[in-house]
Amino acid sequence: MTDSVVDSILKARYLREGEKDYDDICRRVAEALGENEDEIRDYYSEMLSLRFLPNSPTLMNAGTELGQLSACFTLYVGDSISEIFDAVSWGAQIHKTGGGTGYNFSNIRPEGSPVCSTDGVASGPVSFMKVFNAATEVIKQGGRRRGANMGILNVWHPDILNFIESKKNEGDIANFNISVMVNDEFMELVEAGEFDKVWIHHPNTGEDITVGAVWEGIINGIWRNGEPGVLFYDEINRKNMTPNLGSIDTTNPCGEQPLLHFESCVLGSLNLSKFIYKDVLDRKALERSTRIAVRFLDSVIEKNVFPIPQIRIATRRTRKIGLGLMGVHDALLMLKLAYDSPEGRDFCEETMAFVNEISADESHRLAAEKGAFPAFKGSVWGDYEVRNAAMTTIAPTGTISLLAGCSSGIEPVFSYAYTRKDTVQKTFEMIHPLFESELEKTLSGIGKSPSEVKDLKRKAINHVHETGTIQDLLWLPESFRRIFKTALDIDWRSHVLMQAAFQRNVHASISKTINMPESATKKDIADVLLLSWHEKIKGLTIYRTGSRQSVVLELSKRE
């Protein structure tokens, strides 16, 4: 990552008054969260070395008056006007502090239902979602970024078709990602091909909505522009860590954190590429950093200034934290494991299982020191006392991976050379450093002279910059091409299987986009959803190349 990219992000987002560089930020955050000298030193050095980074709100607000440190929130939306507008107000307060909010709108009565108090008719969940969207538009997060929202409707809500179509045109309800919460019953009917079966009867329009109409609506939307996302209600609840507190029907904006109403969660990510030494994973170092990260995130719950009392109460009851990995594809590249290979997936699954296990062990130690989370009795943890109901999550790491200079979350590298347009609209030319160095080694290794290496290297970089792939450069050895695949070279099945490999060892969920080529058919999209459901994924987003005009990452010709 070039210094100018990091500088521009630091200036736009993280530096507070009087701070000049990343070191200052690490010091402020460590001092705000560490309880003693040792903890402060550990937190500082984990962040400074880019082995571990907490989510943006912690970097922005720790040690400041605002003091709100979590990225993820879910709110309750009731069916009355006062309950709906309470949620609008809570959402605005959360956005102001840098958090993102998720809402399930299914309590809101369907469009056309009678409203007794006014003798009028209800306008339905989608019209209210537009109110939340407008409120978000005017509240910039702590003056630093625009608020993000997740809008969810259960597949059994009568307005589901209207909801699915609500983001039909690019730019509609722009401050929301939308997701349909499907259940096993619906997926089973789809799988059995029962498309003509009536799924819901709309009480006001009298319309009989079939399984096929809902399924086609979802598929068409995804094919058209990647919305809606899909969440799997039953899988989320089979893995609910605190069934004693009720079922879960909401996630945060990017889907990685299913939460009970009013819960919040702080995320943090270990940069896996920093734990590969001499072509092997240094498990000892990873264990040490994992333990420090768990303590760090638990401390956030203590120090956090919660925006409203309901959130403080719900968050302290379960003390969920979301530790995950980023730089995963970079680590695979260093180990020469292909992202789309069984070996690559096995490595990821084992590594995540290790992080998950160590996280639980550290939370267990914390429980012995400071007590288990208050809602522990009746949770899935049985007799094993832990301080946090859930410890692991895979975040998108949209900004923190840029700061760390690593691949984001568990996503494959998008392109080894590209133009980056950041959130403050500056553009940067980026070349992946591992790609460049391995390319040079590989070309020298096959006997090319230094001047040939230079020429061919430039050719390959230009090519990947323009097209996003090197798979058609047959003069590059197959062993190199097999490893240096990009998000678009990787078939959808491998994307899904990688997500599933992680999900088996993550308590919460995973932010992941299943990238598909422009030529992907609606049948392909249906197959992705069915496979994801079978693979016990909790939720996903699918994106078909070229289906939206505005994307953050762009391939473009070199100037």
Pick out residues in 67-96 that bind ligand UDP (CB under 6 A).
71-72
Among the listed residues 133, 177, 252, 271, the single catalytic one is 252
Nearer to ligand UDP by Cβ, of 394 and 514: the residue is 394
Per-residue burial over 248-282, b if 16 or more Cβ lie within 10 Å, else e, is bbbbbbbbbbbbbbbbbbbbbbbbbbbbbeeeebe
- Under the binding rule (CB under 6 A), the answer on residue 126 touching ligand UDP is no
Residue 256 designated active-site: yes
Nearer to ligand UDP by Cβ, of 99 and 226: the residue is 99
Nearer to ligand UDP by Cβ, of 359 and 408: the residue is 408
- Under the binding rule (CB under 6 A), the answer on residue 555 touching ligand UDP is no
Return the structure tokens found at 188.
Answer: 């089973």
Distance set, CA 472 to CA 35, 88, 432 (Å): 55, 51, 19
Return the structure tokens found at 80.
Answer: 């009355």
| Residue 543, H or E segment | strand 539-544
- Under the binding rule (CB under 6 A), the answer on residue 229 touching ligand UDP is no
Nearer to ligand UDP by Cβ, of 148 and 375: the residue is 148
Question: Please, what is the minimum distance in Å from the beta carbon of residue 342 to ligand UDP?
Answer: 28
- Under the binding rule (CB under 6 A), the answer on residue 26 touching ligand UDP is no
Question: Please, what is the minimum distance in Å from the beta carbon of residue 464 to ligand UDP?
Answer: 25
- Under the binding rule (CB under 6 A), the answer on residue 104 touching ligand UDP is no
Determine which residue in the list 112, 212, 243, 398 makes contact with ligand UDP, applying CB under 6 A: 398
Determine which residue in the list 91, 100, 221, 228 makes contact with ligand UDP, applying CB under 6 A: 100
Among 161-169, 184-192, 249-257, 536-544, the segment contacting ligand UDP (CB under 6 A): 249-257
Give the Cα separation of 436 and 461 in Å (integer): 8
Question: Please, what is the minimum distance in Å from the beta carbon of residue 143 to ligand UDP?
Answer: 13
Nearer to ligand UDP by Cβ, of 95 and 319: the residue is 95
Give the Cα separation of 370 and 266 in Å (integer): 19
Question: Please, what is the minimum distance in Å from the beta carbon of residue 483 to ligand UDP?
Answer: 26
Return the structure tokens found at 126.
Answer: 């989608």
Give the Cα separation of 433 and 1 in Å (integer): 8
Give the Cα separation of 90 and 97 in Å (integer): 11
| Residue 82, H or E segment | helix 81-96
Nearer to ligand UDP by Cβ, of 71 and 241: the residue is 71
Give the Cα separation of 129 and 143 in Å (integer): 23
Return the structure tokens found at 461.
Answer: 């970089």
Question: Please, what is the minimum distance in Å from the beta carbon of residue 7 to ligand UDP?
Answer: 17
- Under the binding rule (CB under 6 A), the answer on residue 60 touching ligand UDP is no
- Under the binding rule (CB under 6 A), the answer on residue 512 touching ligand UDP is no
158: preceding bond cis by omega (within 30 degrees): no
Among 16-24, 196-204, 394-402, 433-441, the segment contacting ligand UDP (CB under 6 A): 394-402
Write the DSSP symbol of residue 510.
B
Evaluate the CA torsion angle 346, 382, 358, 30 in order and state its sign.
positive
Pick out residues in 262-321 that bind ligand UDP (CB under 6 A).
267
Q: Are the beta carbons of 174 and 147 closer than 8 angstroms? A: no
Determine which residue in the list 110, 142, 344, 396 makes contact with ligand UDP, applying CB under 6 A: 396
Nearer to ligand UDP by Cβ, of 95 and 481: the residue is 95
Residue 252 designated active-site: yes
How many residues at the interface with ligand UDP, by CB under 6 A? 20
- Under the binding rule (CB under 6 A), the answer on residue 145 touching ligand UDP is yes
Among the listed residues 104, 133, 177, 254, the single catalytic one is 254
Among 142-150, 328-336, 484-492, 514-522, the segment contacting ligand UDP (CB under 6 A): 142-150
How many other C-beta atoms lie within 10 A of the C-beta of residue 368?
11
- Under the binding rule (CB under 6 A), the answer on residue 363 touching ligand UDP is no
Among 19-27, 311-319, 392-400, 438-446, the segment contacting ligand UDP (CB under 6 A): 392-400
CA dihedral of 70, 75, 81, 82, whole degrees rounded to 10: -60
Determine which residue in the list 97, 177, 252, 503 makes contact with ligand UDP, applying CB under 6 A: 252
152 Cβ contact partners less than 8 Å away, ≥ 6 residues apart: 102, 103, 104, 105, 106, 178, 179, 180, 181, 231, 249, 250, 251
Give the Cα separation of 292 and 539 in Å (integer): 29
Burial class (CB in 10 A: 0-12, 13-18, 19+), 550: exposed
Angle at 68 between CA 63 and CA 73, to 5 degrees: 155
Question: Please, what is the minimum distance in Å from the beta carbon of residue 423 to ligand UDP?
Answer: 8
Question: Please, what is the minimum distance in Å from the beta carbon of residue 73 to ligand UDP?
Answer: 7
Give the Cα separation of 419 and 7 in Å (integer): 17
- Under the binding rule (CB under 6 A), the answer on residue 395 touching ligand UDP is yes
Q: Are the beta carbons of 492 and 464 closer than 8 angstroms? A: no
Nearer to ligand UDP by Cβ, of 267 and 464: the residue is 267
| Position with the least CB separation from ligand UDP | 100
Among the listed residues 46, 256, 263, 438, the single catalytic one is 256
Write the DSSP symbol of residue 71.
S
- Under the binding rule (CB under 6 A), the answer on residue 9 touching ligand UDP is no
Return the structure tokens found at 406.
Answer: 């690593």
**Chain residues in the site for ligand UDP (CB under 6 A):** 55-56, 71-72, 99-100, 145, 147-148, 252-254, 256, 267, 395-400
Give catalytic residues, as residue numbers: 252, 254, 256
